[in-house]
Every structure is written in structure tokens, then in C-alpha cells.
Amino acid sequence: MELLYETPRYEDEEVVLTGYGLADVDDHLAGEDEETARRFGWWPKRSTAETVVAAFGVWAQDWATAGSTRTFAVRDRRTEALLGGCELRRHADKPCTVSYWTAVQQRRKGVATRALRLLLAYATDEGIVDIACDVAVDNVASRRVTEAGGFSRRPTPYTDPDGQAMVRYTLHGAQLPTT
């Protein structure tokens, strides 16, 4: 598969993190649903082939220029099929943040948990010591993934700018996995 950008390769027995390629556009679109659009804030709009290609281009540019965002495709280790994605964002004056998504057909199979663990291994290798993950209060599945990744929940939910009740999870230094 020809990738638009190269990433360090992180893998476990089931999944591998790589870059995205143009061959992923249709699978990326097929993996989205209303839930994905709501959680990432673009509902009622939906992605199109053009917006996916544009996103892939932005992610490639960030990798090429040491930008603040590191986006990985999550693939089946054996078949290289696209299962979802994950991302780490650096911020100048606050902890890095992570997010992850799983194609609708792959949910409830442990893909997000595996991807998050591999993304945290990447963060550790990059020397990142403070990470946060913001999850909607009603997104129980994503909250379980974050907790399985070793994050601690802040006690007080907050409301994001879109009016969504959110929970912030944090992970610090010694809690991060070692490779």
C-alpha cells in the first residue's frame, strides 16, 4: 500500500499504526457514521472524499514539517485493512491530548484500546510526560477505552464550547507505558 506519509511503526499482535494513503479514502468514509460525526463535532455534515483527502493532506503536512499533530491510521496487522485512527496533539502551554476512532464495523473488538496503548508507547518514545483525553460524559465506550489506557478521571465534568458535557482524563509521567 502506498502511504501519503510515513510514520514510526507501532504494532501489537492484532493492530498496527501507520500513515494514511489515498487507497484508504473509501474505507475511511465507510467507517464513519452519525455517531462519529457527532463525537467529532461535524454533525449533521458528513465527510466526503474531498474532505477526507484534504484531512490526509493536513496530517501528512504535520508529519513532514514537525507540526503539532501526529495522526496514525489503525490497521489490521495481518491484512492491513483500515480499522480506525488515532491522534496525538501537542499544545504549547498544556498537556498533549489524544483522540481515537474506530470504524463502525470494528467497534467492540478492542481496536480502540489497542490503538490507544500503541499511541501512548509513541508518546513515551517522544518523551511526552503529560497527556489528557477529553471524552463526552455519555460516551461510555470511549470512557472505558481511556480508563483501560491507564488514564485517571478528573472528578468534575465540564461543558465544552459546543455545550457538550465532557470528562477530562489525565496520564502523567510514571503512568505512561515503557517500550
Give dist(CA 11, CA 22) in Å, integer.
21
* Prediction pTM value: 0.90
The per-residue pLDDT for range 44-92, each reduced to its tens digit, is 667 789 998 999 999 999 999 999 999 999 999 999 999 999 999 999 9
The per-residue pLDDT for range 129-151, each reduced to its tens digit, is 899 999 999 889 999 999 999 99
Cell digits for 37?
460525526
The per-residue pLDDT for range 53-63, each reduced to its tens digit, is 999 999 999 99
> Domain residues of the chain, as ranges?
10-175
* CA Rg value for the chain: 15
User: What mean pLDDT do residues 152-163 have?
Assistant: 89
Q: What is the CATH number of domain 10-175?
A: 3.40.630.30
